[in-house]
Chains A and B, each alone.
Chain A
């Protein structure tokens, strides 16, 4: 019951944020200079053609009317018409959503797989060799530009060793996993560099907590304490730590998709920016922000579900 109430209140809190998101996405492209009509017409048309296109696109109407139209189109699910592709923005986004979700999902799974064991080792062997090695390696990983690491991995694993494809998204679930492994790994490595640190310190904090002492006092062996208490708590922390970095993971796909030629939302964003495709950029920024908001809601709820100590206000 408390959980249900908490969920509802969190969803209610999201409404003004969502409205704000649409307003920011809308204003971003109207307030900043640049005219899509003249860009689209380019060398082939006259000033009259530009004016006509501006009218056709509704760019000559008052800002608030344009915003109202934007909201209406979003409510209808079309997100407006893409200027470059001449199709509803939502159709474009729907086509590109799957590769990005696969990439984000795989990157998250890999990040957990990297973070969890390494953070535990780091915490248990605190300030000894394994901890220092992990720390050094991931400090370097954090300083490494992802796009450059991507190129190097393609060079090594795809070209020299022929283990992975050089680009693309593949077909079928296994094909996706195979094609997306390297790009997901690049994102996961950068994310792990951030998460290992916070997880390490939270495990250390748990280790020194009173109830662990109690557990030892109850006669549990070291391994059992590790399994029953420390790991369980560490798992909970991992969820919350990853939740905090979701924005980072999702944002990272924008750059990585371009390097690995993955036909996802990130590549579409870069292409739409280049084409000054207002409607597409608007729709995409809204979708990205909603994705982050939804995932952070989900992590909060998951956190509340797993960890009984979380107070549901």
Chain B
């Protein structure tokens, strides 16, 4: 690699930090609440007073993009963390114990693997009813299989490693072997995968909200804002364009960060 190894990592972190600062400031940065409805200010194009214009209820679009970012990033964090924890735990247990437990887990993984991601998520969210909590449930039920596969594979390899044999000879308990020795080694690829997964998650969450199956209006959320602004694309392009740009920005930041983490953690061969 002629490219400096840390550059995507630094770029990704910088972009995310900038975003985090803006989101943390939120309404304080813009001076609008983002929720107060004022029909006399409706549909104003971007200007010095409203950098991203106002929507049809007279709410400041920039403020809502910032409020929406808080919600989207929180959802993404939870929708990645829950399957990560569940999948890694199941994968580690399954790989370490082997036997019938492993066979059952792998059968379940095989079956779930056959369902296209969006089909299963939509079916679950649709049945439970659209809400933020149900998004967490759906993503956890669908995405854990990826983490379980990765961690199980790593555990199988690590089990045969020399230090493991040594640990077992020393008479360490199973729990200690798994938690202190196996997992720390097996978890790295799962962490790398989690960052890649975060990009797909932000796209999926906004897509579901856009379809009316995720976060619901009037909650400011990027997908919801695009759906809401969609009928205004001819006369007020700013309502849906800025949330769209925000998704790309966040997606790009997460992609770069994921690549950087990959470069950092994954041994190059």
Contact = CB atoms under 8 A, between A and B. Distances in A.
A–B touch (CB < 8 A): the answer is yes
Interface of A: 16-17, 20-21, 23-25, 28-29, 32-34, 127, 139-140, 142-148, 151-152, 155, 247-248, 250-252, 254-255, 258, 269-270, 273-274, 276, 281, 284-285, 288-290, 292-293
16 contacts: A23-B111, A34-B128, A127-B1, A142-B255, A143-B250, A143-B252, A144-B247, A146-B203, A147-B207, A148-B244, A250-B116, A254-B119, A258-B211, A270-B213, A285-B115, A292-B115
Given A20-B110, A139-B252, A281 B126 contact: yes
Contact of B251 (A143, A270, A276): A143
Given A20-B110, A28-B123, A146-B207, A273 B213 contact: yes
Interface residues of B, number: 44
Given A151-B240, A258-B211, A285-B123, 15 more contacts: A28-B123, A32-B127, A34-B129, A140-B248, A144-B248, A145-B244, A145-B248, A148-B247, A151-B226, A247-B117, A254-B116, A254-B118, A255-B210, A270-B126, A292-B115
B147 to A, nearest CB: 17
Interface string B83-127: 000000000000000000000000110111111111110111011
B233 interface: yes
B18 to A, nearest CB: 16
B2 interface: yes
Interface residues of chain A: helix, strand, loop or mixed (majority): helix
Nearest to B129: A34
Interface of B: 1-3, 107-108, 110-120, 122-124, 126-129, 199, 203, 206-207, 210-211, 213, 223, 226, 230, 233, 240, 244, 247-248, 250-252, 254-256
A143 B248 contact: yes
A20 B114 CA distance: 10
Nearest to A143: B251
Contacts of A274: 126
B128 to A, nearest CB: 5
A227 to B, nearest CB: 28
A289 B114 contact: yes
Contacts of B120: 285
A151 B254 CA distance: 23
B128 A32 contact: yes
B248 to A, nearest CB: 5
B210 A147 contact: yes
Given A251-B118, A273-B122, A293-B114, A20 B127 contact: no
Nearest to B110: A17
A160 to B, nearest CB: 11
B233 A151 contact: yes
A254 B128 CA distance: 19
A289 B207 contact: no
A273 B126 contact: yes
Contacts of A29: 123, 127
A144 B251 contact: yes
Contacts of B230: 151
A33 B207 contact: no
A292 B116 contact: yes
Contact of B122 (A252, A254, A290): A254
B199 A285 contact: no
Contacts of B119: 250-251, 254, 269, 284-285, 288-289
